[in-house]
A and B are shown apart, each in its own frame.
Chain A
Amino acid sequence: MLEVKSLSKHFGGVQAVRELDLAVNAGDIFGVIGPNGSGKSTLVNLISGVFPATTGEIHFQGQSLSNLSPHARVRAGVARTFQNIRLFPGLTVWQNLWVARNSTEDTRAEGISFRWFRKSGPVKNEIDAMLEFSGLADKGDELASNLAFGEQRRLELARAAATKPRLLLLDEPAAGMNQEEVRDLGRRIRELRQQGMTIILIEHVMELVMGITDRIVVLNFGSKIAEGEPAAIRKDKSVQEAYLGQSEDG
C-alpha cells in the first residue's frame, strides 16, 4: 500500500533520513522505532508532505505523493497526528472534528449550511460517533484548549481519523501517557485498523509497539538497521545495542 524507495532528507549537513526503503502492507499496524534523532519524525513529515524529500520516491496505492501538497495527500488518504499535539485550540471539540471532514462528498453542502441544522443528520451522527470513540461525548462544545492533556491526544487522533484516511501516521501518540492511557490508546488503534485503516506507529513506549504491531522497522541515524515481527526485533542484537538496552535503562 505504501512504498518508500531510497528516501533521503538532508537538513544542511545533517542527514536525517538516508536511502530508506519501506513497504507497508494494507491492513497492517506498522511500527517504526529507533533512538531519539534517528529520523522517525522526519519520516512522518516526509510522508505527510510537511517538507519535501531531498531525493527518493513515496508511492501510495500506486500513486506518487512526491508532488502533492499536505492537503492533497490527506485527500489521497494519508492522515497524521503530531508528536507535540497540534489542535485548533480556539475551536470547540466539535469544530475540530468538523473541519477535518474534507474528503467527503457532503462537505460542499455543509460548507454553507447553518450550525444549528447540524443537530441532526448523517454529519452529526458521524461526528457524534467520533466523539464517542474518543471518550469525549460530553465535551463537544468545550474549547479544545480547555481539554486535559490525555483528552487532547484522543481528540487529535479522532481528528486525523475524521479525514477518513486509508493510511494513518501516528507520531508518538503515547508520549506523556500513563500505563492505563497507553492500554486505552492501543485499543483505539486496533479499532481504527478494524475500520479499515492501515497504521504506521512511531513510538518510544515499547509496551505499545510490541503489543499491537504486525511488523516493525528499526531506524538508527536515518537508516534502517532491522525489520521484522515484534518477537524477532526483540531478540535482534543490533537493535538491542542501538536502542532497546539504552531505552530500558533510562
Chain B
Amino acid sequence: MDYFLNLVNTIGIHTLLGLSAYILLLTGQLSLAQAGFFAVGAYTAAVLTVILGWGILPAIGLAMLITGLLAFLVGFPALRVRGLMLVVATLAFGEFVRMFFYNFRWRVTQEGVEVGPDGTMGFSEIRYFAEHGWTSWEVTSLIWVFVILVMAIIWWADQTRSGAVLRAVGEDELAAGTVGIDVTVVKMAAMTAGGVIAGLAGSLYAHQITMLDHHAFTVLLATFAIAYPILGGVSNVFGTLVAVIFIQGLLVEGLRFLGDWRMLLFGALIIVVMNVKPRGLFDSQTLRWIKSVLRLHLSRRIS
C-alpha cells in the first residue's frame, strides 16, 4: 500500500512541477530552471520545519514566497534572452542552485541530535510528518489538495482574459506588443508564478521523501519538468497530469525491470511525440476527436 501511495505522491508532486513549466510554456518560454526552484523550495521548507520548528503550512507558504521572489529576480536577466539562450541561461541557474546545496551546511543540535543540511551528505531526517503523527493517507491527501487547487487555479486563469494574454504572448511576441500587451510584464508574471508552483512542489517533496540530496535536482529533473507539458500539450492542464501518469507511472515504475534502460525510452518517447504530434499528445485536434468519439458513444447508448 505504501508503495502505491508513494507513487501517487510522486505523480502529484511531479504534476505540480510540470504545471510550473506549463505556465512558462504558455508564454513560449522553455525554462530549465524549474528543478532549481524546486530545490530551493525543498530546502527552504525543510529548514523551516526541522531547524526553526515551523508548522508545515507556514513553511510551505514562506518557501513559495521565497522561490517566487527568486524566480522574479532570475527572470530579469534571463528573459532578456530567448529561445536556446534562455535554455542555456536557465540550465546554468539550475546547476548553480544544485552546487549551492551541495556545499550548504547548517547543522544545529536539537535534543542531543544534530540535524540540518549537511553539504555533500544531504539533508536527512526531515521528520515533520512522522513527528506529528500524520498517516500516509493524510500526507497523500495534503499533496493532492494542492495539486487540485493549483490545477483549478490555472484552469480558471485560462478562461479569463489574462489567460488569453499569456497565450497571445506565446503565439507571437511581436504581434502581442503591437496590440498593447506589455510582453516583459507578462513573461515576468509567468516566471514568478512558475517559481511559486515549483517551490510548492519542492516543499511537499522534501517532507514526503524526508531526505534531500543534490543528486535529485539534476538536469534530469529539469528535463522531466518541461517534458510533461510538452508531451501533454498546452491546450489544457489535464494534458500535463496525463503525461506525468504516463511517464512516472508507466515508464519509470511500470518498466522498473528494465533498470536504467528506461531513460532511453523516455528520450525516444519525446522524439517520437515531437515528430508525430508536435503540439503535444493532447492538442486541440485530439481533444476534439476524443469528444466526438464520446458523443458518438453516448448517442448510440441512448438510441
CB of B253 to closest CB in A, whole Å: 34
CB–CB A79/B179 < 8 A: yes
Contacts of B182-209 to chain A: CB distance below 8 A: 182-183
CB of A30 to closest CB in B, whole Å: 19
Chain B residues with CB under 8 A of A91: 164, 167-168, 171
Chain A residues with CB under 8 A of B182: 69, 71-72
Given contacts A88-B172, A99-B164, A99-B165, contact A69 B159 (CB under 8 A): no
CB of B185 to closest CB in A, whole Å: 9
Chain B residues with CB under 8 A of A148: none
Q: Is A163 an interface residue (CB 8 A)?
A: yes
Interface string of A47-79 (1 = CB under 8 A from B): 011100000000000000000011110110001
| Partner pick for B161 among A75, A110, A160, CB 8 A cutoff | A110
CB–CB B165/A71 < 8 A: no
CB–CB B171/A90 < 8 A: yes
Q: Is B303 an interface residue (CB 8 A)?
A: no
Interface string of A91-123 (1 = CB under 8 A from B): 100011011111100010011111110000000
Cα A69 to Cα B174 in complex, Å, equals 11
Cα A236 to Cα B165 in complex, Å, equals 47
Q: Is A20 an interface residue (CB 8 A)?
A: no
Q: Is A86 an interface residue (CB 8 A)?
A: yes
Question: Please, could you name 8 A-B residue pairs with CB atoms under 8 Å apart, sorted by A?
Answer: A70-B174, A70-B177, A99-B161, A101-B161, A111-B165, A113-B161, A159-B179, A160-B179
Given contacts A88-B172, A89-B171, A91-B171, contact A74 B180 (CB under 8 A): yes
Cα A101 to Cα B161 in complex, Å, equals 10
| Partner pick for A90 among B167, B174, B179, CB 8 A cutoff | B167
Contacts of B239-276 to chain A: CB distance below 8 A: none
Most buried by A among B156, B171, B175: B175
Chain B residues with CB under 8 A of A87: 172, 175
CB of A46 to closest CB in B, whole Å: 13
Q: Is B162 an interface residue (CB 8 A)?
A: yes
Cα A159 to Cα B157 in complex, Å, equals 22
Please, which residue of chain B has its CB at the minimum distance from the CB of A78?
A: B178
Cα A87 to Cα B167 in complex, Å, equals 12
Chain B residues with CB under 8 A of A111: 160-162, 165
Chain B residues with CB under 8 A of A71: 176-178, 180-183
Chain A residues with CB under 8 A of B160: 110-115
Q: Is A80 an interface residue (CB 8 A)?
A: yes
CB of A117 to closest CB in B, whole Å: 9
Given contacts A99-B168, A113-B160, A114-B156, contact A86 B183 (CB under 8 A): no
Q: Is B120 an interface residue (CB 8 A)?
A: no
Cα A236 to Cα B171 in complex, Å, equals 44
B: number of interface residues (CB 8 Å): 23
CB–CB A115/B171 < 8 A: no
| Partner pick for B172 among A48, A86, A110, CB 8 A cutoff | A86
CB–CB A98/B174 < 8 A: no
CB of B149 to closest CB in A, whole Å: 16
Cα A159 to Cα B174 in complex, Å, equals 14
Interface string of A112-138 (1 = CB under 8 A from B): 111110000000000000000000000
In the complex, the 8 A-B pairs of residues with the closest C-beta atoms, listed nearest first: A102-B180, A74-B180, A70-B177, A115-B159, A86-B175, A100-B179, A88-B171, A95-B164
Chain B residues with CB under 8 A of A75: 180
CB–CB A88/B178 < 8 A: no
Q: Is B284 an interface residue (CB 8 A)?
A: yes
CB–CB A70/B178 < 8 A: yes
Cα A143 to Cα B235 in complex, Å, equals 13
Cα A152 to Cα B25 in complex, Å, equals 25
CB–CB A99/B178 < 8 A: no
Interface string of A36-50 (1 = CB under 8 A from B): 000000000000111
CB–CB A107/B161 < 8 A: yes
Chain A residues with CB under 8 A of B167: 88, 90-91, 95
